[in-house]
């Protein structure tokens, strides 16, 4: 039987520390690195990230759109980057935010979560706003293949609260409804479920209950987006033992020098270890 994503993630975090590095090669970052905004620059950027960090960071989160914008040549770079990161022992969460129904949802699962696919990743981000039940085909494929999903719940963008904080008929917020649905999927799974949630580190203290998710909580928004490691305790409280902090520009802004990239990564990891430490 294929080892579950939850088990593989826990092992990776224990070995390398609780940190995710977002790989977002937007045009301005390529320019800042002295690289051309084309497939050649993209390939060089990705190669530097792999060389500097692939063997020391537990999880990477490439943003698919920044590769897709170059068409098939960019997608080929993404496929190669995913393979190289995974070959170095890291896990890869492909940030694609897919969501659809029926056979289309299943096709997305096959594209990203089937080990025979050229775009195979350890996990992907997904959107539940066609109804949480629409994710069922992808959840089933993830379970079969030992892959994972991260479901958008309470995101760090300023437009999110207009939907995610809206109240359902039973009084829960939409965000809490998603957290509760994920809790049901993960109930009883050890060491943690294969379905995680995305909760921005920028959202501040809320009344949302993260304690029963029993899966990883991916927390973007750290660094350039405004949140600091100390915000992890404010947002997540005792649930922070399940949090996977994600930095992007705070680290990648130190490139293309590999030594500076490594120092920035170590600094972020150290800050997160302090913030995520629990006494219980």
Q: How confident is the model over 7-32, as pLDDT tens digits? A: 999 999 999 999 999 999 999 999 99
Q: How confident is the model over 91-106, as pLDDT tens digits? A: 999 999 999 999 999 9
* pLDDT (0 to 100) of residue 1: 45
Q: Which residues lie below 8 Å from residue 107, measured CB to CB, with a gap of 6+?
A: none
* pLDDT (0 to 100) of residue 254: 97
User: Looking at 97, 249, 262, 267, which residue is catalytic?
Assistant: 97
Whether 205 is catalytic is no
CATH topology of domain 5-275: TIM Barrel (3.20.20)
- Spatial distance between the Cα atoms of 33 and 185, rounded to a whole number of angstroms: 42
By mean pLDDT, which of 38-42, 134-138, 208-212, 274-278 is the weakest?
274-278
What does the chain come to in residues?
A: 280
Quote the tokens at residue 67: 């590769």
Q: What is the mean pLDDT of residues 243-265?
A: 97
Strands, E assignment, the chain: 20-23, 59-62, 91-98, 123-126, 148-154, 195-199, 217-222, 243-247
Q: Give yes or no for a contact between 56 and 49, defined as CB atoms under 8 angstroms apart.
A: no
* pLDDT (0 to 100) of residue 2: 77
Q: Which residues lie below 8 Å from residue 213, measured CB to CB, with a gap of 6+?
A: 179, 182, 183, 186, 193, 196, 197, 239, 242
* pLDDT (0 to 100) of residue 247: 97
Q: How confident is the model over 44-67, as pLDDT tens digits? A: 999 999 999 999 999 999 999 999
* pLDDT (0 to 100) of residue 256: 98
Model confidence at 70: pLDDT above 60: yes
Domains in the chain: boundaries: 5-275
């Amino acid at each position: 039987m294929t080892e579950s994503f939850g088990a593989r993630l826990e092992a990776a975090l224990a070995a390398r520390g609780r940190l995710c590095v977002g790989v977002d090669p937007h045009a301005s970052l390529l320019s800042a690195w002295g690289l051309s905004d084309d497939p050649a620059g993209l390939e060089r950027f990705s190669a530097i990230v792999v060389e500097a960090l692939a063997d020391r960071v537990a999880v990477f989160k490439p943003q698919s759109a920044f590769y897709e914008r170059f068409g098939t040549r960019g997608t080929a770079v993404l496929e190669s980057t995913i393979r190289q990161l995974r070959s170095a022992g890291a896990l890869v969460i492909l940030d694609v935010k897919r969501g659809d129904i029926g056979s289309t949802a299943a096709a997305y699962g096959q594209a990203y979560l089937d080990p025979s696919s050229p775009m195979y990743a350890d996990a992907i981000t997904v959107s539940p706003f066609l109804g949480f039940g629409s994710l069922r085909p992808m959840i089933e494929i993830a379970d079969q293949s030992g892959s994972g999903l991260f479901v958008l719940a309470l995101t760090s963008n300023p437009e999110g609260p207009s939907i995610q904080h809206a109240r359902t008929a039973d009084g829960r917020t939409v965000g809490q409804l998603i957290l509760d649905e994920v809790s049901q999927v993960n109930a009883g799974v050890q060491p943690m479920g294969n379905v995680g949630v995305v909760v921005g580190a920028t959202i501040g203290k809320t009344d949302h209950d993260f304690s029963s998710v029993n899966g990883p909580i991916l927390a973007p928004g750290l660094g350039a987006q405004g949140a600091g490691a100390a915000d992890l305790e404010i947002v997540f409280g005792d649930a922070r033992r399940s949090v996977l902090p994600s930095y992007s520009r705070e680290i990648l802004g130190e490139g293309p020098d590999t030594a500076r990239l490594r120092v920035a990564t170590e600094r972020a990891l150290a800050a997160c270890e302090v913030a995520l430490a629990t006494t219980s």
